[in-house]
Copies of this chain bind each other. A is one copy, B any other.
């Protein structure tokens, strides 16, 4: 017997991890989106409710990342029935934490579970990408870690191009999301079309150091490597008010490195303990407050398991 109602969660993700633009992503234990999926006799996808989005997301299932991913799964499994989705946004929108990816992944996982998991986890990558593509372009740097968990190296858009990287022990993250609007499209538009060979060499060196740091569990090296981005951050820094000051404040509290999460405006600091991360988060919020900016802060850790589901 397959269940009638299933609830799936998919987590926030730190795309890029600083220097790893478009290729690296890390799943975070918090925050996460929840999608409740219920089987209904009518074929296709309906969206029954969306909470936590302040009314900003489309209720049209063909224009909603969760709806698109759900429909893709239904088509893949040739379902005769349809699904009704209820989406609880735990992730803030347009914050650089992979909001659209989390909703797409949660919906794909929920619908697949609802029909007895005919598709494997790797099979769900295409459905999740389809949902993500409607909002943010076809990139797997958020989708892959949200779906599989942990830290992923994304070499392409198929499951065999996703490589798991080790999660270093004791890694804690402090996140600060200031009330700044940074549309992903604008954050993409400011990127250079070309980079100097010298910049490419430095970027490859820091990415190599980052992967080495993950394997050796050296958090100080990890923070330094992540901050070694000489291409993307310089192009986007003007969109992230206060970045140098917040970074300095975080470092003064013990942060080992601070980077833009995805396309921003969330900043993420690498810390070696929960206590340090708490101090860093408080200091970041205080600094944004001084600048007259409200900021929500959070302390979290990497998420190991990927998207999860349960019968409700």
Contact = CB atoms under 8 A, between A and B. Distances in A.
A262 to B, nearest CB: 15
Interface in A192-206: 192-197, 199-201, 203-206
Contacts of A10: none
B204 A197 contact: no
B205 A154 contact: yes
Contacts of A20: 204, 208
Contact of A208 (B23, B192, B195): B23
A173 to B, nearest CB: 20
Interface in A162-206: 163, 165, 191-197, 199-201, 203-206
A105 interface: no
Chain A contact-residue range equals: 20 to 34
A209 interface: yes
B193 A155 contact: no
A215 B218 CA distance: 14
A24 B211 CA distance: 14
A197 B191 contact: yes
Given A192-B197, A194-B196, A209 B153 contact: yes
A30 interface: no
A208 B207 contact: yes
Contacts of A272: none
A155 B197 contact: no
A143 to B, nearest CB: 16
B211 A23 contact: no
Nearest to A153: B208
B21 A212 contact: no
A23 B205 CA distance: 6
A205 B165 contact: no
Contact of A197 (B154, B194, B201, B215): B194
Interface in A1-60: 19-24
Interface of A: 19-24, 153-155, 163, 165, 191-197, 199-201, 203-212, 215, 231
